[in-house]
Chain A
Amino acid sequence: MSVEAGSVAKPRKGLDFHVLGPLIALVVLVVLGMSLNDQFLSSGNVTNVLARSAFIGIIAVGATFVITIGGLDLSVGSMAAFLAGITIIILNALAPVLGIGWNTIIVGMAACLLMGLAAGFLNGILITAGRIEAFIVTLGTLGIFRSLVVWLADGGTLSLNFELREVYRPVYYGGVAGVAWPIIVFALVAIAGEIVMRKTAYGRHAAAVGSNAQVARYSAIHVDRVRLATYMLQGMLVGIATIMYVPRLGSASSTTGILWELEAIAAVIIGGTVLKGGFGRVWGTVVGVVILSLIDNILNLTDLVSPYLNGAIQGVIIILAVVLQRGRKGAA
């Protein structure tokens, strides 16, 4: 796999399918949606789809980095549920102390971010200092976080204090100039991710570590430091996603964030990042996330297909999107 270090890939002669694959899939889906339902491009529907994508999208930007360094994080969905649970508990506990207002919510948000960083640090330190495979560590923490949220909720649902929720609601439902907050945050995270991946030393180091850790080490890159930072970045992004998830329904339970990790990984791969590591494309991931959301949305807007087949259609599209990107010589 050729690693394009530094600037953006040079335009090749003719159409570059590997880069355009996901975009073509996206355009096809949009055209399909428009032809099936005239409400499809209404601002309400577009806002719904993009705001929904925001949680998985923000997490998937982090997953792009994790996969680029040749790692994997299976714990993100459970981590989101755990962080949502902890945040709700903290907010409920602070409400009588700090009052019903933004003070409380800002402290809750900060706690959520810090816990996210801590959770990412836990994954990262076990992988680097503990020298355990990322797959095993995050499979373990997936179970741990999921169990903890069930335990915290006593098997039920953790619900946010009602008055506090009314204050917090705009973080998901509100927006600026008609654009909802989750979409704005998702866009900012995606742009920042793209810049970090393409223009910073860390981005180049991440690709180098994923390409060949041994060579990276001889090139004086602190491989373990890069890995630890990447898992912490992933944890922090899960924290950001959770901050916006909590006001949406004001609750967390054992079903929160189920299978998000697989959706995030699927979006990353559709977007053209290499599962083995060594090359990542953040904007591709964003397109991948939107594709996955659109499939669900289009299937809900029509009665064409039995809802039992939603999963099958998603599976076919994931495989197709990746097939479109193959054909690069030497890519294995």
Chain B
Amino acid sequence: MKKLMKLAGAGLVAASLALPGLAMAQDAEKVTIGVSIPAATHGWTGGVNFHAQQAIDSLTETYPQLEFVLATAGDPGKQVSDVEDMMATRDIDALVILPFESDPLTGPVKRVADAGKWVTVVDRGLAQEGIEDLYVAGDNTAFGRVAGEYFKEKMPDGGKIVALRGIPTTIDNERVEAFQAALEGSNIEIIGMEHGNWNRDKAFEVMQDFLSRFPEIDAVWASDDDMALGVIEAIKQAGRENDMWVLGGAGMKQMIERVKAGDTMVPADVTYPPAMIATAIRLTADRFVSQAPMEGRFIIGSVLVTPENADQYYYPDSPF
């Protein structure tokens, strides 16, 4: 698995402040790492759950002194409770958390950090800077930019496109703003934009209405693979498969398969790998089993997947 990585140098000072009660690997003293992630409510979070479990299984096999506590939450409130329970009853030494929402989780995670525990935050930053020791995230701006640049490349003479957006959140806003910025100066016109909420059914219905409304559409930015699947069905139903192509995003295996097969409707995809949770868990574990410095920011780039490189981004075992 090759990932673009960029370690921002700011925090890369060797960790000399070993936590009290923390021992190096050779002492084989137990280290407990809490992992708190959103429940599998849609494809992407399903992938997060799968990769977290995989990373935990393989790490426990390699390092018997590591113990993991995995909790999945359906909403921010439950996630706060999970974190509190981990602190109170499991006596964790480190916390890896993919926050449901930034604001509600900032206080509870800060308390964990204040208690002298190691904190790794994944994907969604907290509302306050400098709480976490390590930040591992996807790059939403790059996600939108890479998609926008691909449209420019595919449509040098411009054209009419429609776009579907996700659930109204900062994530979605960053992606869409970067996408629009990338299109600036080209003759590509976004004639319609609606929220499909990262949901197949909703995207199917929105696309049906776009197809009724616009006689001419050259391409669709579905901005998510779940939505892309719904969009493709609607286009098929209208019999307009040859008029337009669709760009999704996130790297769902069914879509990567289509890119690999050279499907003309799905010429490419943009990654936003749920496997970033595995990166975060592994780096955190490394902090306890090795002496390598781990503080800082680890940004996982969004990459354009084309038929040439699709094999590298294909995980047949993942549910996503």
Contacts and interface: CB of A to CB of B under 8 A. Distances in A.
B235 to A, nearest CB: 12
Given A157-B43, A249-B229, A251-B229, A39 B201 contact: no
Contacts of A308: 168, 195
A153 B205 CA distance: 23
12 contacts: A39-B213, A48-B212, A150-B39, A154-B319, A155-B50, A155-B319, A156-B47, A157-B320, A248-B233, A249-B200, A251-B200, A300-B206
Interface string A48-59: 100010000000
Contact of A156 (B168, B209, B319): B319
A157 B319 CA distance: 7
Taking residues whose C-beta sits less than 8 angstroms from the other chain, chain B's interface range is: 35 or more
Nearest to B42: A255
B79 interface: no
Taking residues whose C-beta sits less than 8 angstroms from the other chain, chain A's interface range is: 20 to 34
Contacts of B50: 154-156
B81 to A, nearest CB: 17
Interface string A251-290: 1011110100000000000000000000000000000000
A42 B211 CA distance: 12
Contact of B200 (A52, A253, A297, A303): A253
Contact of B201 (A37, A150, A255, A303): A255
Contacts of B42: 253-255
A52 B201 CA distance: 10
A174 to B, nearest CB: 11
A301 B49 contact: no
Interface of B: 39-43, 45-47, 49-50, 168, 192, 194-195, 199-201, 204-206, 208-213, 226, 229-230, 233, 237-238, 254, 318-320
Given A48-B212, A249-B204, A173 B237 contact: yes
B46 A255 contact: no
Given A42-B212, A301-B213, A156 B40 contact: yes
A157 B198 CA distance: 13
B46 A156 contact: yes
Contact of A44 (B200, B201, B204, B238): B238
Nearest to B72: A155
Q: Is the interface of A mostly helix, strand, loop or mixed?
A: mixed
A90 to B, nearest CB: 19
A252 B122 CA distance: 28
Q: Is the interface of B mostly helix, strand, loop or mixed?
A: helix
Given A155-B40, A156-B43, 6 more contacts: A44-B212, A45-B209, A153-B319, A155-B50, A156-B318, A254-B46
The 6 closest A-B pairs by CB, nearest first: A156-B319, A155-B40, A300-B209, A155-B46, A156-B46, A45-B212
Interface of A: 37, 39-40, 42, 44-45, 48, 52, 150, 153-157, 159, 173, 248-249, 251, 253-256, 258, 296-297, 300-301, 303, 307-308
Nearest to B199: A255
A255 B41 contact: yes
A249 B202 CA distance: 11
A155 B45 contact: yes
A297 B204 contact: no
A300 B162 CA distance: 12
Contacts of A296: 205
A24 B255 CA distance: 45
B319 A300 contact: no
A140 to B, nearest CB: 16
Nearest to A39: B212
A121 B101 CA distance: 39
B29 to A, nearest CB: 33
Contacts of B209: 45, 48, 297, 300-301
Nearest to B165: A307
A300 B210 CA distance: 7
A256 B211 CA distance: 23
B32 to A, nearest CB: 24
A308 B172 CA distance: 13
Nearest to A293: B205
Nearest to B193: A307
A307 B45 CA distance: 25
Contacts of A157: 43, 46, 226, 319-320
Contacts of A303: 192
A39 B199 CA distance: 25
B223 to A, nearest CB: 14
Contacts of A39: 212-213
Nearest to A143: B74
A249 B230 contact: yes
A254 B49 CA distance: 14
